[in-house]
Structure 1
Amino acid sequence: MRPGAGGAAATLPGAGRAVAVRALAPHEWPLYRALRLRALAQAPEAFASTLAEEEARGDHDWAWRLALGATSGRELPLVAEAGGAGAGLAWAKADAADPSLARLYQLWVAPEARGHGVGAALLAAALDWARARNALAMELGVVCGNDAARRLYARAGFREAGEPQPQRPGANRMEQPMRLALA
């Protein structure tokens, strides 16, 4: 999936707004930053990084991060949009040590867009990308207690892969590794 290319779509019932999922282009770092900071502010327990850590990044850092991800060929930063506004994001990445393994990070759906297939559309786009790269599996971590995310991943076929681990060193929050075989 390339920036601007078509992606998965869903419709927000009641709002009449179609949701489009597409790759973020390097120049869209302000959109990525806004969604990432919103995600961390709204659901701080869901992510390994913190709002304070991410707010401390300068514009150059945000631009560099998205440019590297969007042009590397090994990463896929995704955005879901509804009515011209960001409704969610996700980031898929090929594992550096094992290119047959893809990993999913940062999947988040704006509260007003939840329950309308936005998360499933983001996940489908990431899985399509991983399959196109001939990845044999995708892995992710879901915070223990985030039942909605866990159900989303289970519906897609992900299964628990090992025991829960601390979300980050020294953290009390635990994260359940999950894995989906793609072959």
Structure 2
Amino acid sequence: MSDIRVRVLEQDEWPIYREVRLRALRESPEAFVASAEEEAEFEDSVWEERMARSRRILAQDGDEVIGVVSVGTGHRTKIAGAGELFGLWVEASRRGSGVARRLMEKAAKVGREVGLRQLLYWVGTDNGRAVAFASSFGFRPTDERRPMRIRGVDDDDADAEELMMVYPLGDTGGVPTSL
């Protein structure tokens, strides 16, 4: 685990992000509200724009990319001072080894550096492992829910939903402001 490096991608490294994002969508389609087939068709300009609006954090073992997470800096939420953590993925063989925790630690550091007061994380209510992991890191559930549709996996599952969890980056006490 000591050889694992976690870093923020630069904007011009969008091809690296594209590669790991598509890999994550192919390996774990049930974990995302997108499909690899759809995103593989995106023009380069879409990937460049994605890099401009969110910070992409990579975990690497040497040159091998083994995990990714994104921190949106407020464009997707109407809650003042909140950013959104999303797209967390760790290679299946590395799950449970601390890679996700290292990604989350870096995401929290990035959030603080850009002046966020809290991170919001939408997690599928039926994804017990993700809810437990986020809780162990310090995220707390809220009463906020939204429908979740995973394209290409459960198009007929109208009951799937996500819950919003929140992680304080300052002294908000874990309660999202302005909910």
TM-score, normalization: structure 2?
A: 0.81
* Number of corresponding residues: 162
Query: Which position in structure 1 is the counterpart of 2:71?
Result: 92
Task: Report the more deviating stretch, 140-149 or 108-117.
Answer: 140-149
Question: In 2, Cα distance between the equivalents of 1:46 and 1:116?
Answer: 19
Query: Which position in structure 1 is the counterpart of 2:31?
Result: 46
Query: Cα offset for 1:144?
Result: 2.1
Gaps of at least 5 residues in structure 1 are: 1-10, 12-16, 70-74
Question: In 1, Cα distance between the equivalents of 2:9 and 2:3?
Answer: 18
Query: Which position in structure 2 is the counterpart of 1:3?
Result: none
Equivalent of 1:181 in 164, 168, 177: 168
Equivalent of 1:116 in 97, 104, 109: 97
Question: In 2, Cα distance between the equivalents of 1:141 and 1:151?
Answer: 13
Letter in 1 for 2:21: R
Gaps of at least 5 residues in structure 2 are: 172-179
Question: In 2, Cα distance between the equivalents of 1:134 and 1:62?
Answer: 25
Task: Report the more deviating stretch, 119-128 or 94-103.
Answer: 94-103
Match status 1:19 vs 2:4: yes
Question: In 1, Cα distance between the equivalents of 2:139 and 2:12?
Answer: 33
Query: Cα offset for 1:95?
Result: 1.4
Identity across matched positions, percent: 30
Q: Secondary structure in 2 aligned to 1:33?
A: helix
Equivalent of 1:30 in 4, 11, 15: 15
Superposition CA RMSD, Å: 2.0
CA contact (8 A) 1:45 1:143 kept: no
Letter in 2 for 1:176: L
Query: Cα offset for 1:18?
Result: 1.6
CA contact (8 A) 1:164 1:175 kept: yes
Question: In 2, Cα distance between the equivalents of 1:58 and 1:135?
Answer: 30
CA contact (8 A) 1:78 1:91 kept: yes
Match status 1:101 vs 2:88: no
Deviations 1:84-120 (A, max 9, x none): 1100111101213445111101011011211111100
Q: Secondary structure in 2 aligned to 1:60?
A: helix
